[in-house]
């Protein structure tokens, strides 16, 4: 299954310090997840001042239960960086199979 995860950081004064402290371990895990095909793409969500306030991730994993465990094991979750999650089941479009005219068609 494919999922879109929007993870919101805490808003307390120490939130950025927690993020920066957990960042090296989070990136190491993200590299492994990218290599094994679990993490399709991800990145930081920024506010109007270019400050990191959360993350967005596209993940492919067996089930919602497996996703919940995968998120629980992330250094940002363990380090109390991510406070809330929006999780959506999704399917990433493979645009290589559609001619450009179809992609822009209102019938899609």
Residue 108 lies in a domain: no
State pLDDT tens for residues 82-99. 999 999 999 988 777 666
Q: Give how many domains the chain has, as a whole number.
A: 1
Max Cα–Cα distance, the chain, nearest Å: 49
Residue 96 lies in a domain: yes
pLDDT band at 40 (very low <50, low <70, confident <90, very high): very high
- What is the rounded CA–CA span in Å between residue 64 and residue 87? 9
Is the predicted pLDDT of residue 107 greater than 70, yes or no?
Answer: no
Is the predicted pLDDT of residue 38 greater than 80, yes or no?
Answer: yes
**Residue 84's CATH number:** 3.30.70.1060
**31 near 38, Cβ under 8 Å?**
no
| Residue-range definition of the domain harbouring residue 24 | 2-103
């Amino acid at each position: 299954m494919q999922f879109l995860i929007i993870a919101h950081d805490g808003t307390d004064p120490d939130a950025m310090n927690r993020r920066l402290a957990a960042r090296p371990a989070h990136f190491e895990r993200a590299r492994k997840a990218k290599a094994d095909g679990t993490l399709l793409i991800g990145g930081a969500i920024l506010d109007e001042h270019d400050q990191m306030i959360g993350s967005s991730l596209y993940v492919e994993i067996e089930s919602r239960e497996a996703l919940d465990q995968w998120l629980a094991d992330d250094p940002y979750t363990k380090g109390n960086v991510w406070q809330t999650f929006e999780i959506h089941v999704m399917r990433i479009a493979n645009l290589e199979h559609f001619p450009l005219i179809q992609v822009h068609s209102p019938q899609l």
